[in-house]
Amino acid sequence: MHTMSPPDGSAFDATRSPVAFLFPGQGSQTVGMGKNLSEAHSIARQTFEEADDALGYKLSQVCWEGPEEDLKLTEITQPAILTTSVAVLRVLAEQGIKPDFAAGHSLGEYSAHVAAGTLSFPDAVRTVRNRGRYMQEAVPVCRGAMAAILALPLAQIRELCAEAAQGEVCQPANINSPDQVVISGDKAAVERAAELARHRGAKRAVLLPVSAPFHCSLMQPAQERLAADLRTLDLREARIPVMCNVEARLVTTADIIRDTLIRQVTGTVQWEQCVRGLIGSGVQLFLEVGPGKVLTGLMRQIDRRQTCLNVEDGATLEKLTTSLSQR
């Protein structure tokens, strides 16, 4: 249970039930993210300054001013989304709004571990910068692809991936909701699978504008390079449980967390099961912390009864505090 103080100074009970913070992954970036909060809150501005120092270049400038082409580069996108998410996290903490659980979609799992105190923020920023670089370099440009398949059962998607592979790689990468599964692998195999999906009743099967085939076995070289980095890092026991992508279970132990973050590079993001696990743990309020509303949209597909609010700027922060004051 958390208390927070509104501007008039009176304290009220913000939440009477467990809160989970959800952190977005790659694809949620937009030019200008974090700027509004950094102008209004010194802790947000300091977060971007810390990231600039950790990386040795002005990440803040790319986030706030672009160009968009730079922000789309995987090794910039990943620290940019993480930094924006942590800036929002810290502003929420100043307002007395803190999580009981955390989870993040792919890259967002690193933001969740910053929230849980497992990873220091500078370590996390540098690690995801490298993670982005390793993922980009793991597969030659144009060799891999990803596609979103809508409204087809997971078992059927697994079957058509196996059928389309023909000796190449084609596997479910993100199980996002009952309505949305993203597949990943060799370009020709993914294209074959998307075509099969259309013929077998998928509502849509769309190739995604991504720079690499994430979360499949083609990422093995990236996983090995990232494993070496993660083994040198000082990971602490998590202060709050984090729902890990690869197993959809709550983790708090440093060694287990390191292992799940390593395996996540080639492993499937079990997002639907992560969310269901948090609901099963008694969470009654979900906050998407960071840029965009992707996870809020997926929540509606997973369980429409859940309350999920996104916080990314001054307007959404005000909406949240108003909503909490009325709970």
> Do 320 and 243 have their domain in common?
yes
Determine, yes or no, domain membership for 148. yes
Query: Which residue pairs, CB below 8 angstroms and at least 24 apart, start in 150-154?
Result: 150/179, 150/180, 150/202, 150/203, 150/204, 150/205, 150/206, 151/179, 151/201, 151/202, 151/203, 151/204, 152/181, 152/197, 152/200, 152/201, 152/202, 152/203, 154/181
217 is catalytic: no
> Do 201 and 261 have their domain in common?
no
Which one of 207, 229, 261 terminates a domain?
A: 207
pLDDT higher than threshold 70 for residue 40: yes
> Do 87 and 181 have their domain in common?
no
Determine, yes or no, domain membership for 12. yes
Catalytic residue among 85, 106, 184, 211: 106
Per-residue pLDDT tens digits for 189-237: 999 999 999 999 999 999 998 889 999 999 999 999 999 999 999 999 9
Determine, yes or no, domain membership for 212. no
> Do 190 and 293 have their domain in common?
no
> Do 150 and 117 have their domain in common?
no
> Do 178 and 315 have their domain in common?
no
Residue 150's CATH number? 3.30.70.250
Determine, yes or no, domain membership for 124. yes
Which one of 166, 182, 207 terminates a domain?
A: 207
Determine, yes or no, domain membership for 262. yes
> Do 165 and 97 have their domain in common?
no
Structural domain of 194: 144-207
The pTM assigned to this predicted structure is 0.93
Per-residue pLDDT tens digits for 72-107: 999 999 999 999 999 999 999 999 999 999 999 999
215 is catalytic: yes
